[in-house]
Structure 1
Amino acid sequence: MPDCEFTESRLRCVLPFEAAPAEVRLLRRAAVQQLSRWGMPVAVDEAELLVAELATNVVKHVGEGASATLILEVKAERLRLEVHDKSPVIPVVREAGCGDECGRGLHLLAAMAVDWGTVVTAAGKAVWCEIPLDSGSSCRRIERAVEALESYEGAVRGLSQHGRGREVSLVESAVELIADLLHWTSARGHDPDDILDRAQMHYEAESEAA
């Protein structure tokens, strides 16, 4: 993978890479090193996971050996991550339960980023996402939540929504899952209000520490 090229005044870094598992690991490391050089107040773990998901999608859906490029750029109060490849095929968020090949990485992208999308380019396409510069390092909790919600929703009624409807569907599933967990705690002699208070305390403590 060639060295990073960037213009400090724009805080923009371009990292060409080859779609291969070994290159994805190097790309993650290079992205983290660049953010460290910039002194970015961004959750490194979160950015590293998103870089890995974006690059891995190229490996899986465009093919190993394909040429691609990662662009890191600071825009206002956000860090923007873009991966460009030469395939014009736009990725689709598909139903859970069919494995990574069906777009699980995009579910993580939607859950972890404040905004994301795809765009057709002259050479192919770009998949991008943005995270706030003051984001907390909660990526693993978000990843577990996505996995739990997809598993829960798939078991209850299957998945059919996409885009904004998909987000609304996951929110509804989150409410139903929390209600089911409260029924579970009550049936075992625990106080549901106490469970909610303890969860809120954990959330607030971690948010303040982030």
Structure 2
Amino acid sequence: MISHPSRQCTVELQALPSRIGQVRRILSAQLRYWHLDQLIDRAALGVTELLTNVHRHAQPDKMCTVEIELLLDRLTVSVRDHDPRLPVVEDAPDLSTCGRGLAMVAAMSESWGARRDASGKVVWFTLPTGVSGVSGAPGIGLGLAEVESVGEVEAAGVVG
């Protein structure tokens, strides 16, 4: 029996650099609302890497959905896009300025993976919360059309 319900936050966006920063701010506000401040840096790094991959590689468009889900003692961050090609962890040359994103996600997360789905693919990672029975109200799914800044997230009541 599950004693605590799942909590979710979903954001749909076009993976452009300006939108990636907005998603980081929304993710940070949501994790503060769930009292998971200790996960903000790692979750923000992971979602930035996944969204950067969508921006750089996804075809035919850069549209994607970010989902943050808290279930019991595990936070899962996933990014869904329309490109069915699965990402590959590369062995980047020492002086390369790119190609290390998935290796960083793998190193900082408890687990990660990718799978194809009916509309493209989903790439995800998990972080342990370190807390059993996390308190806090259920999350509210917000789209970027509705929220343009952390101040608006706080005004919308997502941050408690």
- Give the shorter-chain TM-score range: 0.7 to 0.9
Q: 1:32, 1:41 → 2: CA distance?
A: 8
Structure 1 vs Structure 2 CA RMSD? 2.2
The answer to whether structure 1 residue 113 and structure 2 residue 102 are counterparts is no
| Counterpart in the other structure of 1:79 | 75
Alpha-carbon distance in structure 1 between the residues aligned to 2:80 and 2:96: 24
Give the number of aligned pairs.
Answer: 127
Q: Secondary structure at the match of 1:47?
A: helix
In proportion to residue count, which structure has more helix? 1
Supply the distance in 2 between the matched residues of 1:28 and 1:54 (Cα, whole angstroms). 12
> 1:98-153 deviations in whole A, cap 9, x for unaligned?
7355x310000110011000010100000000011139xxxxxxxxxxxxxxxxxx
Distance 2:29 2:127 in 1: 17
Residues 13-62 of structure 1 deviation map (CA, whole Å, 9 limit, x = unaligned): 11111110000000100110111112225421111111111111100111
Q: Max radius of gyration: which structure?
A: 1
Aligned identity (percent) is: 35
The within-5 A match list for 1:164-183 is none
- Of the three residues 94, 99, 118, the one matched with 2:96 is 99
Q: Residue 45 of structure 2: which of 15, 31, 49 is its match?
A: 49
Structure 2 distance, partners of 1:9, 1:131, is 18
Match of 1:132 among 109, 128, 133: 128
More strand by share: 2
- The alpha-carbon distance between structure 1 residues 122 and 64, as it changes in their structure 2 partners (threshold 3 A), is closer
- 1:117 & 1:99 partners in 2: Cα distance? 24
Q: Which has the higher contact order (CA 8 A, sep 6+)?
A: 2
1:22 corresponds to: 18
Please, what TM-score do these two structures have when normalized by structure 1? Answer: 0.56
CA distance in 2, matches of 1:81, 1:124: 17
Gaps of 5+ in 2: 132-160
Amino acid in structure 2 at the alignment position of 1:32: S
Q: Distance in 1 between matches of 2:105 and 2:75?
A: 14
TM-score under structure 2 length normalisation = 0.72
Structure 1 unaligned segments of length 5 or more: list them: 1-7, 136-210
